[in-house]
Structure 1
Amino acid sequence: MRLIVVNDVSEALGGATKVALQCIEAGVAAEFDCAVLVGDDGAGIRSRFPGVKVEALGERPLRDGVSFPNLFDRNFNLRAYRALRRLLETRSDATVVHVHGWSQILSPSIFHALARSKAKVIVTAHDFFLSCPNGAYVHYGKGEVCTEKPLSAGCLVSACDKRNHLHKLWRFARAMTQTAAGEAFWSRVGVILAHEGMEPYLSEGPLRNFLTLRTPSTPLTQSAVEAWKNSRPMFLGRMSVEKGVRTLAEALNVTGKAATLIGRGPLLKEIQRALPHCHVPGWLDDDEVAAVASRARYFFMPSRMPEPYGLVAAEALMCGIPVIASSNALIATEIEQHQAGLVFESGNARSLADIMALMESDALVRHLSRGAFAYGKNVAPSRDEWRQQIVDIYSGRLKFVTRDKLKETMGRPARQEFEMAGRI
């Protein structure tokens, strides 16, 4: 079997790339003939997998700055199209192509290349770019979840973009280019969901085949955290509007609570200015993050978007750190049900401040910490389980479920869902 993994970048600075690297690792371990298409220079792949063929474009992601040519090549990147066509020239009928990120460099052109191939195509939905033009179902101007149907007239006129409406129109056009790969193509694509709650956001269009595979998680610390003995909460994630850091900053100022906020992004400088009483260092390496987590009382997940999963929240739960989650996070309900944390109203700083006041109780934090540690054992598959499941998906032993069948399994634990998927 031949496996081609497709992703915008090769350096693991985000969850999507981490999963892409794990897919390559699983393919290599299974002795597949592996190749990779990336939009950057490919250094992160070549250093880690020297025996894997890498097709690298050597381009920069949009988040590093936009140039005039990007208006065209990030809508349809001809170099990416041709590169993927080259990789597909041999044995395309015995090939599995697994797509992760494409919105920063590769563009929807890759789907047009795949539509001309007999290869089996799988896309992991790390976000909502498969359906929503801005990838988040968020109206950035209002700071609310967007309820417009993607690519409808209402979507076209909605000034939901984080930059301006002209940029939204460009995103709309790019989404149209993506859709133009054809309904016949999209109806045969298998979509891996990071969380089963993503399906309603993705099934209104031509997508038909889904399967939930939660990302394997590693605890933030090597040993369980006795959170009730600690005093300082923490945040770990991208400093951006959709991640809710402005709501978090407002709540921290209302309460005067000192916290540690780790991460990079467009709002980093703003948050550093807004929170002089907090530690906002930017990005830290894994050892430094572990040191902060070992002293954490609870973990913030203040997302303004329908957060697809929240890998770092799972990593916090696994070491017994309770999570204060936004009501927009898809994992929020199960956090509450398992008494592993508390939920506040998304975008409401006063609601968050009230929850923070409750977390001053050592007895409550002790109860939630123990609930978090117990739930963290089952919140995601182990790396070995995940590796076997992804190989089973590639080989066809684990089947995708049509969207009608998937609705019957919504809300069931991931393991039961996989067992059902394997019988269909």
Structure 2
Amino acid sequence: MSDRSSSESTSPEPSRPETTASHDGVPPGTTRVLLVAALSLFATSLFMRCVDPLIPQIATGFGLDTATVVLLSTAYALPYALAQPMLGSIGDTLGKTRVLKVSLVASAAAGFLGAVAPDFAVLMVSRVLVGVLSAGIFPIALAIAGDLVPVQRRQIAFGRLLAAAMLGNVMGSPLAGVIADTVGWRGVFALVATLALVAFVAVQIGFRGLALDTRSRFDVPTVMAGYRAVLRNPLAKFCYAAVFIEGVFVYGLFPFVATFLAARGEGRAVIAGVVIAGFAIGGFIYSATVPLLVGRLGERRLMLGGGLFMALGVSSTALGLAWPFEIVVFMVLGLGFYSLHGVIQVYVSELAPASRGLAVALHGSCFFLGQALGPIVYRVGFEQAGVGPSTLVGAMVLLTTAAVCAARLRRVPKVGDTAA
């Protein structure tokens, strides 16, 4: 099979909740489920980004240098990445909703541990635990949406779910900064953990009465069959490599934002949070315009435009602009990122429909492995070559990645499919 082959699998689609579909092919109760899934994504996005504006405060509190405290991002992202494939397989076999509920409760408990951490070692352990335990939230929520929404409408549905995650980024970073500036960084962890519990209650209520899962035995042959189904699709290598690169060269910059601003005399955590929130605002622009973008540009030009915007955003961070202009830079970066990433997610959801939870989890795993490695790559680059050359390299890699995706990712529609 060539690299341009269809991303469709011959595996049967998993069963969907309830047996009666609405006139547009979407099962009843889907809107309610997607709203609850969106709340879960909002909660997990707070876990992801709440630390970034806090780096200088935590460093001061524990008497450490910021370069060491930046590793809190890796402490979360690396275990988050490594745990996702296993949780995706568990979701495909033992039930996606079950994994989602356990992930929300357990990650909340680990978040509260971080709020009372007596030293940096305990805080680091807390971030590792939150990374492992929350790893089932994002991929499982997207997999549930993939089970419910037909492929021709999936990019729009995913765009709206991503909007919930982006709202967490928009609110989370500046909110974390405000709380840190008033009651300290510990209050940030306590608030985020509390919101995860709220999301758990919403799942308990919102999913009640809906048969969302098909369950089977969780054993090694079943798990390995799922991996084979996903990885034998020739498009998998392009999808997973691309999101890994995005994680390294886009998200790897985020932990350095507060440090860059502090070096220019702006030490307020809330300002660092507002700048980072610009990325999510760019994502909101994507989410609000995704039907128009897909219809007018098509997937190929959308991916190429995303790569160009990411390259402009990353390279512009080296200019040392005043923080209001940095917000605009991160808006451009966010719009570019989601333009490429949103298309890739649709392809990932169709790599192997019967193992959709695993496929999406592997996507998340590669993405967060990139996020875990990103701060280390940039730290070495900044120390050895400087900020300008390092960000320029990142920009060129992202642009090349988008061009490869635009050339290689192709989907042959099923009979009856229409453009999203």
Structure with the larger helix share: 2
Quick one: higher RCO (CA 8 Å, sep 6+), 1 or 2? 2
Structure with the larger strand share: 1
Question: TM-score if structure 1 supplies the norm length?
Answer: 0.29
Question: TM-score if structure 2 supplies the norm length?
Answer: 0.29
